[in-house]
Amino acid sequence: MSSIIQYFSAGRQSGKHTMPFVIILLTVTALACVSNLYLPADSALHVSTYSITLLGKYLCYALLALAVDIIWGYCGILSLGHGAFFALGGYAMGMYLMRQIGDRGAYGNPDLPDFMVFLGWKELPWFWHGMDQFWFAMLMAVLIPGLLAFVFGWLAFRSRVTGVYLSIMTQALTYALLLAFFRNEMGFGGNNGLTDFKDILGFSLQSDTTRVSLFALTALVLAVVFVVSHKILSSRFGKVVLAIRDAESRARFIGYRTDRYKVWLFVFSAVIAGIAGALYVPQVGIINPGEFSPINSIEMVIWVAVGGRGTLIGAIIGALLVNYAKTRFTAILPEAWLFALGGLFVLVTLYLPKGIVGLYTQLLSKRQPPATKESEA
């Protein structure tokens, strides 16, 4: 176990040791899927469909944390608005799933979702057209967050907005979208959002096989994004991004257009968040404006801080641990969770500035004999 984590720590800059994580992730996923589908419910090794859905949600959050770590840990941009990109990807998937309901809704209208019939809409809004096609909906789940990130990043980074001012702007962005999507006239279901989904690509969302397939797909996407992100951040592009994080003025002085690097990394991060949102919605069965809440975006930052920013693997570990703790804690003391989350962030900031992965790396270096350290030097 220690050798595997050592691989992770050593590979945080070089990107050479991503395979151990990928192998563990896919192996655990395969075992959970087999246990759910082929072991009897009374078996001690059986993984329930509820647990599969919960694990799938955790992996979506891990993918989202990865997106935040890419922009914050490697480029030093503290975004408090990634919840917006996540929710936009989720709404794109939700719109597709609503169109698949057809005349099986409560009002039996084959063209309009139930909430539109209830609100007295006579025809489908123009931005809903094409969302009955899976490929088009998935394109929108990637394109809309990416386009929003490009426009926002182009305006902000060319104006050299940095630090806390940029963080406030990203938080204002997601809050503005929260208020907009709450309005019934926007055509996205108002405060109730989109729900009561029936199937995806013709497969029932209530089926155990579909749930397991979505969980496996999420794990596969997480593995692919993890590997691709390591490759990008270990390339020449990634080295320039690190230089911008550590000394942007110097990078600009030697001729790099730092704003362009920041814009494209911001877009890449937003696209990952949109994909996470698209995978999240069919597994939880609902998407509403609450996903735009600034509190959610702040939680994402805490996941990364707990795991260790600038490591990728730390963001994933932090997302899994914090959300598992949230599931357990809210079942016992739901009102106290936000206080516990705030306390956790304070403790991590004061005593674990490099997160769990950084703490393990530090402890590992102390355990190494002096001769080993000198030979490595």
Q: Is the full-model pTM beyond 0.75? A: yes
pLDDT at position 368: 67
Give the model's pLDDT for residue 372. Answer: 52
**Strand, helix or coil at 160?**
coil
For residues 272-294, average pLDDT:
95
When the pLDDT of each residue in the chain is averaged and rounded to a whole number, the result is 89
Quickly list DSSP for 9-60. HHHHHH----HHHHHHHHHHHHHHHHHHHHS-TTSTT---HHHHHHHHHHHH
Res 298: pLDDT: 92
Q: What is the pLDDT of residue 203?
A: 93
Confidence (pLDDT) at 4: 39
- Nearest CA to 135 among 124, 143, 125? 143
The dihedrals phi and psi of 162, each to the nearest 5 degrees, come to -140, 175
- 108, pLDDT greater than 70: yes
Fill in the amino acid letter for 197.
F
Q: Which of 203, 164, 179, 208 is nearest to 47 (CA)?
A: 208
Share of the chain above pLDDT 70, in %: 93
Domain ranges within the chain, ordered by starting residue: 2-376
Average pLDDT over residues 142-161: 95
Separation of alpha carbons 311 and 346, rounded Å? 20
The residue assigned the tokens 């104006």 is 159
- pLDDT tens digits for 297-345? 999 999 999 999 999 999 999 999 999 999 998 888 888 888 888 888 8
> pLDDT confidence of 10, banded at 50, 70, 90?
very low
| Position 182 pLDDT exceeds 90 | yes
Question: What's residue 1's pLDDT?
Answer: 40
Residue 14 predicted with pLDDT over 50: no
Q: Dump pLDDT digits (tens) for 225-277.
A: 999 999 999 999 999 999 999 999 999 999 999 999 999 999 999 999 999 99
E strands in 75-137? none
pLDDT of residue 17: 62
Question: Rounded to the nearest 5°, which phi and psi values hold at 366?
Answer: -70, -30
pLDDT of residue 106: 85
7 confidence band (pLDDT: 50, 70, 90): very low
Residue 107: predicted pLDDT: 87
Residue 333 pLDDT: 85
- Check residues 338 and 67 and name the one with the higher pLDDT: 67
Q: Does residue 5 register a pLDDT over 70?
A: no
